[in-house]
Chains A and B, each alone.
Chain A
Amino acid sequence: MRREGSPWTGAWTVVAKETADHLTSVRLRFLEGLILLAAGGAVYAAIGRIRDTVGRDPFLFLSLFTVAREPLPSFVVFLGFLVPLVSIALGFDAVNSEHSRRTLSRLLAQPIYRDALLIGKFLAGLVTLAVAFLTLWLLVIGLGLLLVGVPPGGEEVLRGFAFLVVTVAYGGVWLALAMLFSVLFRQQATAALASLAVWLLFAVFWSMLAPLVAEAIGPAQPTPLAAVERSEIQQAFARLSPNVLFGEATLALLNPATRALGPVFFSQLEGALIGSPLPFAESLLLIWPQVTGLVAAVIVTFTIAYVLFQRQEIRA
């Protein structure tokens, strides 16, 4: 039976309620505390390094995000590691908790379609992520202003903001994936474990798998051309991982001297001014495939979750 009206009726109500729940949940506070500690420590260490070498970098503010001091990794590396955790924590029990609390039928008895429920939950997660990262971003900038004492330039702000957007998109991928598992598995623990398994796979093992795959399916001849082809296969395989996409995107955004992300032939470097910063538009163009890849992954994963959820029997 086809129903009448807009499928989005009530979506904003869901978004508002879920966001409020997220922002007041102990779980999120716990995770934010973890991120704050790790990222704050990384930035503080970075500022210590920057102070020693002040004045050398025209993009001083961006180096807040990328400079690392032993033994702490840089802010960006911390984020690449911790953003999936926060997203998974927000999404792994989105749907199955409603099942287990037996609130789903009661919820859908309201004039709210399933469409609105799922997209509302997803948007709420995304808003929460955006709020959390924006706060963190502002915190870093504020800390930089306070401790470095140099205001950021226009292009630095632009690049920093693009970095924020990319981070939210990266979080969105993991949020959509966690929600997919929450639709797929009735058990919350299973969904959480499945999400964490994927996270581990991409965060730790993917970089080890990529060369193996390249060797397995690439040409085996010991010629330079074959080597180039192998490295291209390896890179293409590695780029299936959202972590790699995020890493490449942030590298090009936060380090304006990055001019290429793949292997570069020596002839391409002839006459090139190494270390001269790329204009922002060119950097954006360079990482556009990565950004669109992330955004498309969000949409596709969400679509799968959506289709599965719509076809699910929920009157159990």
Chain B
Amino acid sequence: MRVGMHALALALLLGLAHATAAETSANANYKGIWVSTPYPSFDAGAGETVTLDLTVHNAGRPPQRVALAVDPVPQGWSAVFLGEGKRVQSVFVAPGDKATVKLRLEPSGDVTDGAHRFDVTASAAETRFTLPIELTIGASLPPKLTLKPELPALRGSPNTEFDYKVAIRNDGGDDATVRVDAAAPQGFRVKITEQYGSQELTSFPLKVGETRTVSVKVTPPFGAKQGSYPIAVRAATGRTEARTELAMEVSGAPRLELRGRNDLLSAAAEAGEETPIELVLANRGSAPAHAIKLDATTPSGWKVTFQPERLDTLAPEATETVKALVVPADKAIAGDYMLTLRAVTEGTNESSDFRITVRTSTLWGVVGVLVIAAALVVLVAAMLRYGRR
């Protein structure tokens, strides 16, 4: 019995092989009318209208009209044949020729998940051909997006623009419109643009399987502190979303500020006399400043010394009081002079223009008063000598 089964299987296999070979040779002279479609069974999303391409073939039959129908049409569906945009009921095929027609299957709301079967029948004068089509609802490929940053972590100074390239890929079964946004810490400015271009974008269409690279440009706020900041990039369609995290490492930089006390940028000094000016040196940057040297550009004949001349280190947000001893030239004329005071440290330098109002000595004023007094003394002496006549 067992042997018999084997023999039968063998015979069937042989028969099949024989049949294939026979078919290939018979194909050329197959006569008849038939309907074909590339994918007779497929998946579709719920509520989705499906359009199939059908081809009606005529091999070795006289030219004739072929009536098309879907029978039976399952509950809740409507099936329409379309030829060049019009509703058609039949096609005409010449021998050895074929005609194409579209079949549109439109579900109403209450179509359930699962397999639906449509039999497309082509009826000609003497023959009838049935093409079974199977449609499965609810099993289509789920929508899916992937985000892939090219370089997920960048490092730079607070005044650089961080430019991340992020590739967005539509791995789902449907074309979609993708919305992109990015969340950054407060104060950070985010701009999402095309990869090569400056136009900012918020959303774009993405076909199935397509990849698009966008550029996420982040600018840290002025004077951002040293540290690592996360940037969350999100791409979303109506039905799905994808996230990725970018790391942004801001390296700090010192930024010095040199001002007078109470932000004054002016002072008065007497010509030839040493006048102390209190200065406030502040580090408004995000990293400590080292080896700060104080320096001044003066008009000729002026002398400016600092106490202290240099500072070893100044932490961010720290301030230090410095004294500048300004000695205007002896010959300086009264009025305003411009003095540039500078604080120089590695990589940064801050200069402030100070307006020094030079006062001249009041000594000559006293001399003038003495001259008048002398004249008065002469007058009084004359009166004492010659008075009361």
Contacts and interface: CB of A to CB of B under 8 A. Distances in A.
Interface string B338-354: 11000000000000000
A204 interface: no
Nearest to B268: A279
A292 B372 CA distance: 6
Interface in A243-270: 259-260, 264-265, 267-270
A239 to B, nearest CB: 13
Contacts of A151: none
Given A114-B389, A273-B337, A306-B382, A268 B371 contact: no
B331 A267 contact: yes
Contact of A268 (B331, B336, B382): B331
Contacts of A268: 329, 331-333
Contacts, number: 114
B364 A289 contact: yes
Interface string A272-300: 11001011011001101101110110011
Contacts of A259: 333-335
B368 A7 contact: no
A232 interface: no
A267 B331 CA distance: 9
A273 B355 contact: yes
B369 interface: yes
Contacts of B386: 306-307, 310-311
Task: Count chain A CB atoms within 10 A of each CB in B298, B375, B383, B388 and give the residue with the most.
Answer: B388
A278 B365 contact: no
Contacts of B332: 268
Task: Count chain A CB atoms within 10 A of each CB in B329, B334, B371 and give the residue with the most.
Answer: B334
Nearest to A119: B383
Nearest to B387: A7
Contacts of A278: 334-335
Determine chain A's interface SS by DSSP, over half rule. Answer: helix
A188 to B, nearest CB: 23
Nearest to B363: A285
Interface residues of A, number: 41
B300 interface: yes
Interface in B192-231: none
Contacts of A113: 387-389
A299 B375 contact: yes
A2 interface: yes
Contacts of A285: 334, 359-360, 362, 364-365
Task: Count chain B CB atoms within 10 A of each CB in A276, A292, A311 and give the residue with the most.
Answer: A292
A292 B359 contact: no
Task: Count chain A CB atoms within 10 A of each CB in B357, B362, B376, B386 and give the residue with the most.
Answer: B386
B63 interface: no
Contact of B383 (A286, A288, A306): A306
B171 to A, nearest CB: 69
A282 B359 contact: yes
B387 A260 contact: no
Interface in B159-217: none
A106 interface: no
A115 interface: yes
Contacts of A300: 375, 378
A300 B380 CA distance: 11
A297 to B, nearest CB: 8
A288 B372 CA distance: 11
B301 interface: yes
Contact of B336 (A115, A264, A272, A295): A272
A271 interface: yes
B299 interface: yes
Given A3-B388, A310-B387, A282 B335 contact: yes
B379 A264 contact: no
Contact of A272 (B333, B360, B372): B333
Contacts of A271: 298-299, 302, 337-339
Nearest to B381: A303
B372 A295 contact: yes
A222 interface: no
Interface of A: 2-5, 7, 113-115, 259-260, 264-265, 267-273, 276, 278-279, 281-282, 285-286, 288-289, 291-293, 295-296, 299-300, 302-303, 306-307, 310-311
Given A302-B379, A310-B382, 14 more contacts: A2-B388, A7-B387, A259-B333, A270-B300, A271-B299, A272-B299, A278-B335, A282-B357, A285-B360, A286-B334, A288-B365, A299-B376, A299-B378, A306-B386
Lowest 9 A-B CB distances belong to which pairs?
A271-B299, A292-B368, A310-B386, A299-B375, A270-B299, A259-B335, A273-B336, A276-B336, A3-B388
Interface of B: 298-302, 329, 331-339, 355, 357, 359-360, 362, 364-365, 368-369, 371-372, 374-376, 378-379, 382-383, 385-389
